[in-house]
A = this chain, B = another copy of it.
Amino acid sequence: MDEKAAVAVFECLSSGVRLGVFRLLVKAEPVGIVAGDIATALDIAPSSLSFHLRTMTQAGLLRVEQEGRFLRYRANLGLMSEVVGFLTENCCSGVAGGCRDADILSGRIPGCGSSNPARESKA
């Protein structure tokens, strides 16, 4: 996953509305939810929801499938796991040696907080 794709996903998640949509769809896995029902559940104007749905689908976060005159949306969990991977890598890279998930999740990263930070500024 490249930075550009990551930014697109974060853009999606950076709106309360869209994050709400995504969380709702994750809970609704693997069935998914039809657009109108999302609008009802989250109390969003259809036209406004459609706008967000399009954004999220374009970012690859959602999958659509036509079902008669309904459109059923589903969360793309695979992409989300890629995002987690991106974040995990970018969380650790550059830090001494091998920081594993467990190290980070546990709070403190060994050997990453007590050096002698010398200024390397130019002035």
Contacts and interface: CB of A to CB of B under 8 A. Distances in A.
Contact of A19 (B7, B15, B16, B40): B7
Interface of A: 3-4, 6-7, 10-11, 13-16, 19-20, 22-23, 26-32, 34, 36-37, 40, 67, 70, 72, 77-78, 80-81, 83-85, 87-88, 90-95, 101, 104-105, 107, 109, 112-113, 115, 117-123
Total copies of this chain within the assembly: 2
A122 B112 CA distance: 55
Given A3-B19, A37-B122, A30 B112 contact: yes
Main secondary structure of the interface of A (DSSP, over half): helix
Contacts of A104: 77-78, 80-81, 84
Contacts of A13: 6-7, 10, 14
B23 A90 contact: yes
B94 A28 contact: yes
A29 B119 contact: no
A68 to B, nearest CB: 9
Contact of A94 (B10, B11, B29): B29
A19 B3 CA distance: 8
